[in-house]
Amino acid sequence: MDRPGRLLLLSELCVRNVAYDVSLSRSLLTWKRLASSPVYRPFRPMLYVERCRQHHWCCAEVTFTCPDGVLCQNWVSSIREQLASISARPRNLLVYINPYGGKRQGKRIYEQKVAPLFAKAEISTHVIVTDYANHARDHLKTDADLSKVDGVVCVGGDGMFSEIIHGLVWRTQIDNGVDPNCPDEDLSPCSLRIGIIPAGSTDCICFATIGTNDPVTSALHIIVGDSQPMDVCSVHHHNMFLRYSVSLLGYGFYGDMLTDSERKRWMGLARYDISGLKMFLTHHYYEGTVSYLPARGIIGTPRDAGRCRYGCAVCQHNGQIQSERAEKYKTNEDSECADDGEWRTIRGKFLAINAASMSCACPRSPKGLSPAAHLADGTTDLILVRKCSRFNFLRHLLRHTNKDDQFDLAFVEVHRVVRFRFTPRYCQSDSDLELDLLENGKRQIFSQICRDHPACGCTRTNSSWNCDGEILTHTAIDVRVHCRLIKLFARGIEEPQVFADLSNPCVI
């Protein structure tokens, strides 16, 4: 028999609903022995996971006694055998903590809520508290020994997650001999899963993958060993790599809002509200050309009533199609053939151009920018908001917070695409610029001079791209979706019925 206090871990974990008996077959997360007795052997409570309120998981406990020492030892041996045979659950994790993100609570959240759970699950961790911006990215690119870990965990917000993505994806491409600067290259998928302990301002990634930004729930998904594939967009300017994106690429309204909010960081989280109001009142529009490659042979549209959930059939079907198509073109020397479709072009004046690779739901926008977007179907939803009145644009923005269809407006269009390119009007050819000058004369020249001074009434020439909360250095970009490039310690959002039906125990 093990000494008192020894932790024994089960191979699989059962999620039980509140106030009902625990299923003994696969229900235990940990087992701790309390004392010895010649007659019976009580144990400290065995910890397991149960669903509490919507999308939240929590630890619960139950105590068992065993009158037979031989039977007790058999239980212990059986549990150890199961643990040894399960590869999905992580044993060693590399943890990065951003102490400055959100409300600066990342370190406290990890130490008080997450580290004790990892210790009970006998997960070894190597913890690095980041000292500067992109510390985690740079460490993953060059210094981290990834052969000794089963996953990478970030404690912070969406910005910290973006750092991990850039470091891990870049490292994977270099190790596999892939040129990240070539927009036509098929990127190699990352083998390590990524865990997110939310401690940021919006935590969009957590809301899209598990339905909540609760740190304990995220930690339990990591302990269980859940796996959720996710698409990643690569963003290039000509043949130069700029960034990866997993949630939102926004030009116009969202790009201007981010640019303005960066000057107001001293205001804290209130800067987003102030900058959003300012950009709405300013009401800038931008001219340019959008070319996109529609997704072919897929199921689902951006205006579907269904949502991406645990076991999503759309992700499974479309992801399989995209994977087969990519495999088909691996041996094709003509990279242009890999586009496998006809490009379509739209020119106009836009208040906003957004590409949502997931719903982008958060507390401020419960439905998100594109409610029917999917995590792992190999596509992104391209949303074009044409020039309109302030009143109509306000109608569009308000529909992000209610149940109305935000795409059911004459000045809004949405397309599900696998690739798109954007060229601002004033980055087009010299012949186009000369034609514009002939048409508009001195008014156009004056607009170029005073574009940084909106008070004069002239329209700003270009906006900036908001790429997952970071400003891109170029406006002319080429965006390509890479299907299931990364995997998270998550499972997708579970249906509300799972949490509402308390009489039906559910096994993970």
pLDDT beyond 60 at 333: no
Structural element, H or E, at residue 51: strand 46-51
Bridge partners (DSSP) listed for residue 214? none
Cβ atoms of 285 and 387 closer than 8 Å: yes
Cβ atoms of 491 and 228 closer than 8 Å: yes
Query: Rounded CA gap, 12 and 434, in Å?
Result: 68
Q: What are the φ/ψ torsions at residue 145 (nearest 5 degrees)?
A: -90, 95
Give the pair of three-digit tokens for residue 469. 């909360």
Confidence of residue 209 (pLDDT cuts 50, 70, 90): very high
- pLDDT at position 467, please? 95
- pLDDT at position 496, please? 72
Q: Residues 86-141: pLDDT tens digits?
A: 778 999 999 999 998 777 899 999 999 999 999 988 899 999 999 999 999 999 99
Confidence of residue 154 (pLDDT cuts 50, 70, 90): very high
- pLDDT at position 461, please? 82
- pLDDT at position 16, please? 36
Confidence of residue 264 (pLDDT cuts 50, 70, 90): confident
If phi over 0 gives left and psi between -120 and 50 gives alpha, with beta otherwise, what is residue 77?
A: alpha
By the 10 Å C-beta count (0-12 exposed, 13-18 middle, 19+ buried), 260 is classed as middle
Confidence of residue 22 (pLDDT cuts 50, 70, 90): very low
Cα angle 147-203-371, degrees, rounded to a multiple of 5 = 110
- pLDDT at position 40, please? 53
| Integer angstrom CA distances of residue 167 from 150, 155, 177, 205, 244 | 16, 15, 16, 17, 10
pLDDT beyond 80 at 223: yes
Query: Rounded CA gap, 506 and 508, in Å?
Result: 7
What domains, with CATH codes, occur in the chain? 1-13+37-86 (no CATH), 88-226 (3.40.50.10330), 232-320+341-436+459-482 (2.60.200.40)
Q: Residues 296-312: pLDDT tens digits?
A: 989 999 999 889 999 99
What is the pLDDT averaged over residues 232-249? 95
- CA 212, 215, 217, 223 torsion: positive or negative? positive
- pLDDT at position 437, please? 38
Residues with active-site annotation? 158
Query: Rounded CA gap, 414 and 373, in Å?
Result: 11
